[in-house]
A and B are shown apart, each in its own frame.
Chain A
């Protein structure tokens, strides 16, 4: 099966730009994969996603989405993708249903009728089902501006799924949402992904949101500086640590040295797990411990370290 997204040597230089905003990046995303594009401001994330969604043309390189070339087959690409924009793309003066109706017409799903009751029965049923799915109910007929931020985001997502896209682009989807709304939204996206076998391409500043991705791609200054599963990316740069302590600290210190482990000693003994697993270390020490804790690096730790080395 063709990759959902295939990017080859993509370059974008804006008309008045002195450097490439995107500078020869390549990656592939498999169907059904949850792929996260990370990077600081100006890294080239939004430029990349704009090219992938056909709103910006590349300077050179090639991009295929669901097997279609984004330049020659832009219209086909647009049929296969759903996009949740960074800025809200709902008409605040219209109701939720009217927003969905216009989307459905733009994608050729139904003919346009000025009133909901004049729309085809299949459309009315689909809207009611979608509204129930996100617990909007009759509120879908209220003006969008009266809905909460989280509800508006959900409305954008169900609208974006009306045409059954194969790939869903989420450009900072939780921006401006409170913690509770963020959590509910992600649970909902996860459900959709399972049910619809969607490929998801996410850009975000919230690194914890990318922890669940199948793969992350970190961009900096228009280049790919790391790509892989969050676990691999973390493992490349940040090692897990074991924090231990014992009543007989001298004996413990001697034993750690005998085992040739690299460790630091402050309030407790902090051992880097770059060679042995936590179990192997504890087993090898063979003496009573008063405390035992492992510390895993977060994606954020890895991300910051990658960016620091990239800048250096």
Chain B
């Protein structure tokens, strides 16, 4: 019961911090304007006809998946920065399980990431991205799965970092290529075999493709935009989530014990 309380408290703290941070709130509001309206709108105007699908919906689903996945992953690696500062010092010396820290942090960053994409969904609806009630309802579990996946991936990365400077370098190295390999803003239907292998190994690909599978379900663009059946994406993500979570948590707890 104590550990459950701790998990809820840690998650609540992350959410509270988000609501108290005007910078992050404003950024969450501006980000959809830049990504969906400016970027998606420009791509739609110039390439929409040639591509044969709605680029605004394409970029919306791309950035939706990316934000959920990356925001949670980044939140987890912030444990590295926080370790020497802030309240995280308190967490590591309190009589709580390291597993509770991991679960509470993933849950907290998930809630923050979900809050961050709310303006994005509203903005997409305003720009007439076809969001049915079913799609909106399905986006909730998709968002949760995407965030948990991001959290597990961030936890795995956390174990490869020695300090906060390394964290920035690893992040650039790991996330930037995924923007292209996962088809964030450009289709990846045709890739040379070596890029296809890298793309298949990129977790962000399945997160984004799952979001697209839900949003474009039943539309005429579905076949051109979605790469894999959503059920396949869920299965791959569930498998990756299980592996990353088990390996990441084990490494994290071992590393904490042997510091």
A binds B: yes
Q: Tell me the A residues contacting B by CB distance below 8 Å.
A: 53-57, 75-76, 78-79, 81, 83, 85, 87-91, 93-94, 98-99, 102-103, 105-108, 111-112, 114, 143
Decide yes or no whether B99 CB sits under 8 A from chain A.
no
Among A75, A87, A91, residue most surrounded by chain B Cβ atoms (within 10 Å): A91
On chain B, the residues within 8 Å of A87 by CB distance are: 84-85, 89
- Once the chains bind, are B95 and A105 in contact (CB under 8 Å)? no
**A112, closest chain B residue (CB):** B9
On chain B, the residues within 8 Å of A55 by CB distance are: 92-93, 259
In the complex, A153 Cα to B89 Cα: how many Å? 15
- Once the chains bind, are A108 and B8 in contact (CB under 8 Å)? no
- Once the chains bind, are A94 and B16 in contact (CB under 8 Å)? yes
Report if A114-B12 is in contact (Cβ < 8 Å); known contacts: A94-B17, A99-B87. yes
On chain B, the residues within 8 Å of A54 by CB distance are: 93
- Once the chains bind, are A105 and B93 in contact (CB under 8 Å)? no
The range of chain B's interface size is 20 to 34
CB within 8 A of A90: which of B13, B84, B87?
Answer: B87
- Once the chains bind, are A111 and B5 in contact (CB under 8 Å)? yes
- Once the chains bind, are B94 and A107 in contact (CB under 8 Å)? yes
Contacts A78-B93, A90-B86, A107-B95 supplied; 9 other A-B pairs, CB < 8 Å: A85-B89, A87-B85, A89-B86, A89-B87, A91-B87, A98-B16, A106-B9, A108-B2, A114-B16
Decide yes or no whether B144 CB sits under 8 A from chain A.
no
B145 shortest CB reach to chain A, Å: 25
**B12, closest chain A residue (CB):** A114
Decide yes or no whether B6 CB sits under 8 A from chain A.
yes
Among B17, B89, B95, B96, residue most surrounded by chain A Cβ atoms (within 10 Å): B95
**B88, closest chain A residue (CB):** A89
CB within 8 A of B95: which of A57, A79, A102?
Answer: A79
Mask: chain B, 217-259; 1 = CB below 8 Å from A; 0 = not: 0000000000000000000000000000000000000000111
Looking at chain B's contact residues, the main secondary structure is helix
In the complex, A89 Cα to B92 Cα: how many Å? 11
On chain A, the residues within 8 Å of B2 by CB distance are: 108
Among B6, B13, B96, residue most surrounded by chain A Cβ atoms (within 10 Å): B13
- Once the chains bind, are A112 and B93 in contact (CB under 8 Å)? no
On chain A, the residues within 8 Å of B258 by CB distance are: 57
In the complex, A154 Cα to B224 Cα: how many Å? 62
Decide yes or no whether B121 CB sits under 8 A from chain A.
no
In the complex, A76 Cα to B5 Cα: how many Å? 19
On chain B, the residues within 8 Å of A107 by CB distance are: 94-95
Decide yes or no whether B188 CB sits under 8 A from chain A.
no
For residues 58 through 82 of chain B, which have their beta carbon under 8 Å from a beta carbon of chain A? none
CB within 8 A of A105: which of B9, B16, B89, B92?
Answer: B9
Report if A108-B5 is in contact (Cβ < 8 Å); known contacts: A57-B258, A78-B93, A103-B90. yes
In the complex, A55 Cα to B95 Cα: how many Å? 11
Q: List 13 A-B contacts (CB under 8 A).
A: A55-B92, A57-B258, A76-B95, A78-B95, A79-B95, A88-B86, A89-B85, A89-B87, A91-B17, A105-B9, A106-B90, A106-B95, A108-B2
On chain B, the residues within 8 Å of A90 by CB distance are: 86-87
Mask: chain B, 1-19; 1 = CB below 8 Å from A; 0 = not: 0100110110011001100
B208 shortest CB reach to chain A, Å: 31
Decide yes or no whether B91 CB sits under 8 A from chain A.
yes
Decide yes or no whether B20 CB sits under 8 A from chain A.
yes
For residues 138 through 171 of chain B, which have their beta carbon under 8 Å from a beta carbon of chain A? none
In the complex, A89 Cα to B86 Cα: how many Å? 4
- Once the chains bind, are B94 and A78 in contact (CB under 8 Å)? yes
In the complex, A107 Cα to B90 Cα: how many Å? 10
Report if A53-B93 is in contact (Cβ < 8 Å); known contacts: A94-B13, A98-B16. yes
On chain B, the residues within 8 Å of A105 by CB distance are: 5-6, 9
CB within 8 A of A91: which of B5, B13, B93?
Answer: B13
In the complex, A105 Cα to B257 Cα: how many Å? 23
**B89, closest chain A residue (CB):** A89
A13 shortest CB reach to chain B, Å: 12
- Once the chains bind, are A93 and B95 in contact (CB under 8 Å)? no
In the complex, A76 Cα to B96 Cα: how many Å? 10
On chain B, the residues within 8 Å of A102 by CB distance are: 9, 13, 87, 90
- Once the chains bind, are A56 and B85 in contact (CB under 8 Å)? no
On chain A, the residues within 8 Å of B13 by CB distance are: 91, 94, 102
On chain B, the residues within 8 Å of A94 by CB distance are: 13, 16-17, 20, 87
